[in-house]
Chains A and B, each alone.
Chain A
Amino acid sequence: MNGPFDFTLSLADDALIAAQRLAEWTTRAPEMEEDIALANIALDQLGAARLLLSYAGELEGAGRDEDALAYLRDDREFRNVLLVELPNDDFAVTMAKLFFLAAYQLPLYTALAGCADERLAAIGAKARKESAYHLDHGALWVKRLGDGTEESHRRMQAAVDQVWPYTHELFVADPAAPVDPATLRPAFDEVVGPVLAEATLTQPGGAWAPAGGRAGVHTEHLAYLLAEMQVLHRAHPGAKW
């Protein structure tokens, strides 16, 4: 990865794909309050994605706006990490993904708020306040399920084990970027460790670190997600609500 455009696009795609995945829970969450919560968080992610995509389009200078970037790229052109495109699966898996993503986005946006790029700094300052709520929500569920019943503990641990390898891609070093993701790892570990411990969950080890999203090499899941997200715009170019 290199340059402000690629960096901005990668953060935009993380937020956009996370929003699309979370929105799949709408009308399907285990309880009404959770349905509203996940839709709210999806909306926050979408809001950040729109700001980042618009800015990425300006940086690129090729005339692509947020809609062109969101709706008219194919999967190989998306730069999101694999973590956000993984299927929602069990509710515990969704919570593990939500928690890990927020534990990365909060220090990311906080660092961005202090970076030299004014536009990214403004977006970071805005988004970090929302990320604090996402992190809190994810952490609550991880603790509630992990330290809950025998069955909820089993499923939360399975979810953490399943998702954990995908967290490493978040921190792949990029020294040229406005914020080097590698520098965010300590803040992530500082939040995640105690929450998992309080949830009576075991933090997975292992060296398997699937990656490729930042280079456009995705899992088979992304193309299906994009097909659903993009179908309306591609069938009716320029359609507006």
Chain B
Amino acid sequence: MSARSASPTIANATGRASARQAAASVVDPEIRVITIDELGILRAVDEDPASGRVTVTITPTYTGCPAMDVIRADIRRALAAAGHPDAEVRTVYSPPWSTDWISEGGRAKLAAAGIAPPAPVGTAGVVSLTLAVRCPQCGSPETEQVSRFGSTACKALWRCRSCSEPFDHLKAL
């Protein structure tokens, strides 16, 4: 996640593109404006010094997230393209994913795509349900929840009372 990995041409001594960078560039298949790194579900990328084999560790947003198989396949494909054809993808559940792990850049991308980013959860880990959600279209705080559950497991459906537009809100978790 360091600034230098912003360049797509960084290569290690063997000429292969950085495994970390390749894994981090995979976009979420259901929210295609944000990468799995920005979403906070990419937990680690390790390269075995002896064999060079890459192990990628990810965690799901929700236990039943149906995108996990696609994410695993996308990671393997991205790593193969970067010169790591036999990468292993591990899935861990602890510590549980929190929307607090979404990066600042990721939040900005969500908002730009019309998805209201989640409010901070803090340390309690229990969801506060009375926080005002700003409309990602017009910025108005005059919004209301239409449904606690939305188009994907991690989103709720909201509506703006000022501009009348419906929008997705990534639920604080």
* Chain A residues in the interface with B (C-beta under 8 A): 33-34, 36-37, 39-41, 43-48, 50-51, 118, 121-123, 125-127, 129-130, 132-133, 136-137
Contacts and interface: CB of A to CB of B under 8 A. Distances in A.
Contacts of B126: 132
Interface centre among A36, A37, A125, A136 (most CB of B within 10 A): A36
A48 B96 contact: no
Given A36-B147, A37-B147, A133-B171, A125 B64 contact: no
A40 B63 contact: no
A51 B59 CA distance: 13
A46 B63 CA distance: 8
A122 B94 contact: yes
Nearest to B94: A122
Contacts, number: 75
A48 B96 CA distance: 13
Nearest to B147: A33
A147 to B, nearest CB: 19
Interface string B68-97: 000000000000000000000000111111
A125 B153 CA distance: 17
Interface string B113-144: 00000000000011101000000000000000
B150 A125 contact: no
B94 A125 contact: yes
A127 B151 CA distance: 20
A137 B65 CA distance: 19
Contacts of A43: 62, 64, 66, 153
A132 B125 CA distance: 10
A199 to B, nearest CB: 18
